[in-house]
Chain A
Amino acid sequence: MSTNGAKGNHLIEVRDLVKHFPLTKGILFRKQVGAVQAVDGVSFDVIEGETLGLVGESGCGKSTTARLLTRLLEPTSGSINYKGQEIARLSRNDLKPLRRDMQMIFQDPYSSLNPRKTVGSIIGEPFVIHEVESDAGKRKKRVQELMDIVGLNPEHYNRFPHEFSGGQRQRIGVARAIALKPKLIVADEPVSALDVSIQAQVINLLEELQDELGLTIIFIAHDLSIVRHVCDRIAVMYLGKIVELADADALFAHPRHPYTGALLSAVPIPDPRLAKGRNRQVLGGDVPSPTNPPPACRFHTRCSKAKDGVCNVEEPLLEHKDGGNLAACHFPLTDQEIARRVPTAAA
């Protein structure tokens, strides 16, 4: 099955990926009483050189998906095919060469850097771990080159993380991630903790590096305006499932899944005239618990278009809808509905 009509070389192919975190009871005799179904059967491809966005509310499984891809977590079932190699079941040792190719940038620049290490040794550590550069002098030179690339002053080699601002710390994280020239970078909310004026600096840096180094980026964020700006394709997740997957332009011009529509409708627009003129659709309630998700379409409890007897009985599949979006919905949004609710709808 060509899951999402993705064109180009597939760097990663994910099929039916599942991650359930068991909930146990008892101390001596532990028995499983349930499971948090963090990721429940997602399939998608990542194309070489693209930026794929993963969006959704907190608890939808986007970070878990990213950690499964980089194999920081062991999948419960499903397959992850990286450049023709099945990596879902690889052991720690067999994973090591892979770790060079996949790097992560984390959300919180304050807690993702060891406060007792100098910036030089933080950025230089990948070289040590992967035994790429054993000569300390040469390593220092390479680290300083990296610092220069990401816009840090190479003279600050011996400083500690606390001497840097949030934006600069995120640059340190970026330098560490690109040290071994990886193929794939997974950026988990890389700018959410930064001030607006600094966010743009880090986003521009990531885009430049992608052009120069030919990186593939998986970009996780909850800020849809940023995702739209950065990503080529976007997957929208809800309660452990992908509910819609489309090119960025298509997704914002004509979202087909009612959940995507609601997300887009909720984004605040920094223009008072437009903001007052639009018909906002406010999604009521909260995301249901992933330990006991609603049956069939998981969104039916909050969906304005849900029909009893259909949406709560039959699970919708991720299929092509009008305009080429892949959406998992029995009653996708029509163009009229989109025009009313979504600020980015194609006129």
Chain B
Amino acid sequence: MALLEVKDLRVHFETEDGVVQALDGISYSVEAGQVLGIVGESGSGKSVSSLTVMGLTRAKNARISGEVLFDGKDLLKASEPEMRALRGDDVAMIFQDPLSSLHPFYRIGDQLVEAVRAHRDMPKAKALDRAVEVLGQVGIPEPRRRVDAYPHEFSGGMRQRVMIAMALINDPKLLIADEPTTALDVTVQAQILELIDRLRQEFDTAIVMITHDLGVVAEVTDDIAVMYAGRIVEYADTESIFAAPEHPYTWGLLKSIPRLDLPRDEPLVPIQGRPPSLILKPPGCSFHPRCPYVRDAHKRIDPQLAPTAEGVNGGRHKVACLLPPQSRRQLWTELVAGATPEDAKERVAVPEEAVDQEAVDPTAVDQEAAR
């Protein structure tokens, strides 16, 4: 059984402007020792998904449905005290901004000791020993001396290490890292990524890593979920996402970043337009207003996440796209060869009413027919 299993999770927020559909039915699972990457732009719902797992989106105006099974227990049904006992103990989180996540008034050591004693009945001196041990593990030099320092005495990279130490201090089974390296320099980022990889190997921690940087996830993840407008639009093992992506949005992401291993003059192909409002989502496929390969049918039919035709890796590669599988593969081949989306579109014939039946929800079709 998977350590964390998220099933059909929906999170809607009622606001004055309307209902924000932050998450619209996402499912994924993570096993012990596995790293899952969740990739998406700002506003795609990637952070809301992890905050909900931690029980941090419980607000008056939030409507949450679905299941979040951690070790078989549904966290959405857990009471607030139960959640508090779990947070920082079995489930820990690293936030993006290490500057604002540490309390400026208290010594690093005090903050770490508090994290231990909130969950364990342990004498202060012993908890401090544990704090020193973990600081050493995350690569802080002279931890015995540095526990007495205040956060402002640490650099950005060191503070992020302290945050990681705090997350690890109670040996969590699941670690959620929300953009753990975004605020850091590349050199420090490399150090932190190495550390995260070591954790998984040494402690068998399950890790969910949220980021917008495809380079970061390529190095440490086993599986990747690509999110767009509150849904997972593509899910596959890391190799497939990079070698044989099937969703036009994933193609767009891969083509819009300059890469060190490709020729310097390779043009960047941005994704046109911008992410949709989560209050008024486009009908049909949410990506259709920005998709270069859109067909009329795609503006009506809402695609479901379905296994791709070629069941590589036991059908684990899933995609929510209405383009016929054949056309998808041809389009990607053209793009890899250096074609712009416009060229690719001309060279690959996509029938006007073409729809990948796998991605069509049968009940939705019945409803449309009835109308």
A binds B: yes
8 nearest A-B residue pairs (beta carbon): A268-B215, A200-B270, A229-B258, A200-B256, A266-B190, A197-B271, A200-B268, A201-B270
Min CB distance, A90 to chain B, in Å? 34
Cβ of A310 under 8 Å from chain B: no
- Interface positions, chain B 236-256, Cβ under 8 Å from A, are 238-239, 242-243, 252-254, 256
- Kindly identify which residue among A200, A264, A287 contacts B260, using a CB–CB cutoff of 8 Å: A264
Bound Cα distance A283, B266 (Å): 29
| Contact flag A286-B157 (CB < 8 Å), given A58-B185, A222-B186 | yes
Min CB distance, B137 to chain A, in Å? 15
Do the beta carbons of B41 and A197 come within 8 Å of each other? yes
Do the beta carbons of A270 and B212 come within 8 Å of each other? no
Which A residues form the contact surface with B (CB < 8 A)? 57-58, 165-168, 195-201, 203-204, 222-226, 228-229, 248-249, 252, 262-276, 280, 282-287, 343-344
Bound Cα distance A249, B157 (Å): 30
| Contact flag A225-B187 (CB < 8 Å), given A269-B218, A271-B218 | no
| Contact flag A267-B260 (CB < 8 Å), given A196-B41, A204-B270 | yes
Bound Cα distance A272, B269 (Å): 21
Q: Which chain A positions have C-beta within 8 A of B218?
A: 268-272, 275
Cβ of B219 under 8 Å from chain A: yes
**A contacts with B: majority SS:** helix
Cβ of B63 under 8 Å from chain A: no
Q: Which chain A positions have C-beta within 8 A of B271?
A: 197, 200
Bound Cα distance A270, B259 (Å): 7
Do the beta carbons of A268 and B268 come within 8 Å of each other? no
Bound Cα distance A162, B187 (Å): 34
| Contact flag A57-B42 (CB < 8 Å), given A229-B258, A229-B268 | no
Bound Cα distance A271, B272 (Å): 24
User: What residue of chain B has the Cβ atom nearest to residue A285's Cβ?
Assistant: B141
Interface bits B246-289 vs A (CB < 8 Å: 1, else 0): 00000011101111110010111111101100000000000000
- Interface positions, chain B 34-86, Cβ under 8 Å from A, are 41-42
**Residue of A268, A286, A344 with highest tally of chain B CB at under 10 A:** A268
Bound Cα distance A271, B268 (Å): 17
Do the beta carbons of B214 and A266 come within 8 Å of each other? no
Cβ of B335 under 8 Å from chain A: no
Cβ of B216 under 8 Å from chain A: yes
**Residue of B158, B212, B216 with highest tally of chain A CB at under 10 A:** B212
**Residue of B216, B242, B261 with highest tally of chain A CB at under 10 A:** B261
Total A-B contacts with CB atoms under 8 angstroms apart = 137
Bound Cα distance A198, B41 (Å): 9
Bound Cα distance A271, B275 (Å): 25
User: What residue of chain A has the Cβ atom nearest to residue B238's Cβ?
Assistant: A272
Bound Cα distance A247, B243 (Å): 31
Bound Cα distance A165, B141 (Å): 42
Q: Which chain A positions have C-beta within 8 A of B155?
A: 286-287
Q: Which chain A positions have C-beta within 8 A of B29?
A: none
Do the beta carbons of B239 and A267 come within 8 Å of each other? no
Q: Which chain A positions have C-beta within 8 A of B274?
A: 165, 167-168, 198
Do the beta carbons of A196 and B213 come within 8 Å of each other? yes
**Residue of B238, B254, B270 with highest tally of chain A CB at under 10 A:** B270
Min CB distance, A289 to chain B, in Å? 10
Q: Which chain B positions have C-beta within 8 A of A226?
A: 258
Cβ of B324 under 8 Å from chain A: no
Q: Which chain A positions have C-beta within 8 A of B111?
A: none
Min CB distance, A67 to chain B, in Å? 20
Cβ of B194 under 8 Å from chain A: yes
Bound Cα distance A61, B270 (Å): 31
User: What residue of chain A has the Cβ atom nearest to residue B215's Cβ?
Assistant: A268
Interface bits B175-213 vs A (CB < 8 Å: 1, else 0): 000000000011111110110000000000000000011
Do the beta carbons of B260 and A269 come within 8 Å of each other? yes
Min CB distance, B340 to chain A, in Å? 12
Do the beta carbons of A282 and B239 come within 8 Å of each other? no
User: What residue of chain A has the Cβ atom nearest to residue B157's Cβ?
Assistant: A286
Do the beta carbons of B215 and A270 come within 8 Å of each other? yes
Do the beta carbons of B264 and A248 come within 8 Å of each other? yes
Min CB distance, A346 to chain B, in Å? 12
Min CB distance, A137 to chain B, in Å? 32
- Interface positions, chain B 134-178, Cβ under 8 Å from A, are 141, 155-158
Do the beta carbons of A225 and B260 come within 8 Å of each other? yes
Bound Cα distance A222, B189 (Å): 12
Do the beta carbons of A252 and B260 come within 8 Å of each other? yes
Min CB distance, A279 to chain B, in Å? 12
Do the beta carbons of A343 and B185 come within 8 Å of each other? no
User: What residue of chain B has the Cβ atom nearest to residue A166's Cβ?
Assistant: B42
Min CB distance, B10 to chain A, in Å? 24
- Kindly identify which residue among A168, A200, A249, A266 contacts B186, using a CB–CB cutoff of 8 Å: A266
Do the beta carbons of B256 and A196 come within 8 Å of each other? yes
